[in-house]
Amino acid sequence: MVTMATSPPFQAVLDRIAEEIEQLPGRGRPADYIPALAALDPRRFGMAVAEPDGAVYGVGEWRQPFSTQSVTKVYTLALDLAREGDALWEHVGREPSGNPFNSLVQLEYENGIPRNPFINAGALVVTDRLHTRTGNAAGALLDFLRAESGNPELSFDKEVAASETAHGDRNAALAHFMASYGNIGNPVPVLLDQYFRQCSIDASCADLALATGFLARHGIGADGSRLLTRSQAKQVNAVMLTCGTYDAAGDFAYRVGLPGKSGVGGGIIAVVPGRCTLCVWSPGLDERGNSVAGVAALDRFTTLTGLSVF
């Protein structure tokens, strides 16, 4: 096998990956607990790579907007960490949970402090804190994504947000339970509205690869301003590596070897610090909630290019 370790021609790598995994889109099933996502065709596939200077390459449906869902948890974590720093970690941990993303059981043992910011309970805490600081967490997130992707068209998908609200009993239970421990500051209905709008944002692989660039640039935003300290960018990448792909983070690290974050819309973002950011989308999910074709495509990317953090 040829390993392209220096200056990888990203377009050629992406074209080759799309060819190699041709049979995979279509495997797995779209998330059906959110009715608005259940109808997605699992054969859809797109992938993009962005370089730190903003050059972007893609294959398949890389400009097609999709439901970003839990991928957004990376950006709300970054936005909150930038504002409150280490104080955040008194309210949410940074250890893998080993439990499904919407599990309630661990919260009781651990007194309402979620294991990490990427399971739903942890993301609710982060959004709650960001909302307290900004007065509009979902709006702050949307502004951030528009600025970092350079795409002013990004927006909330009202149908998806409404669908999640109508089927949001589990998230409501998590939020109320944590509120009973004093770990939620806003009224639960206000928090849920913010959280569901956050998850409903539509963006393409190109948008998300670009918007994640600050993590490859060690905390520097698209306009050159500092969004996170170098150390905080490292921290976000580390939490992505250990907790970013539900309770399959060990397998993802083993196969892909990059910080990554998946969402039940079928998107996955990944970071090669200093080199590039990636986003892949294909709605067919495995039993743990990660895109089947998405994980395979990232696996091929690091194998073909030799670009990983290990």
Distances (CA, A) of 274 to 10, 16, 191: 15, 23, 35
Q: Which 126-165 residues touch ligand GLU, going by CB under 6 A?
A: 164
Asked if 260 touches ligand GLU (CB under 6 A), the answer is: no
For ligand GLU, which residue of 10, 62, 101, 144 counts as binding (CB under 6 A)?
A: 101
**H and E: helices and strands count for the chain:** 14, 8
Residue 310: partners with Cβ closer than 8 Å, 6 or more residues away: 257
Q: Name the one residue in this structure whose structure tokens are 């944590």.
A: 178
Whole-angstrom distance, CA of residue 69 vs CA of residue 47: 17
Backbone angles phi, psi at 47, to 5 degrees: -155, 140
Question: What tokens appear for 13 in the block?
Answer: 């790598």
* Distance in Å, CB of 223 to ligand GLU, minimum: 29
Whole-angstrom distance, CA of residue 79 vs CA of residue 59: 30
| Cβ nearer to ligand GLU, comparing 134 with 165 | 165
| Cβ nearer to ligand GLU, comparing 219 with 263 | 263
For ligand GLU, which residue of 46, 59, 66, 69 counts as binding (CB under 6 A)?
A: 69
* Distance in Å, CB of 21 to ligand GLU, minimum: 22
For ligand GLU, which residue of 13, 81, 121, 264 counts as binding (CB under 6 A)?
A: 264
Asked if 305 touches ligand GLU (CB under 6 A), the answer is: no
* Distance in Å, CB of 147 to ligand GLU, minimum: 23
Task: Write out the residues near ligand GLU by the rule CB under 6 A.
Answer: 69-70, 101-102, 120, 164, 171, 199, 263-264, 289
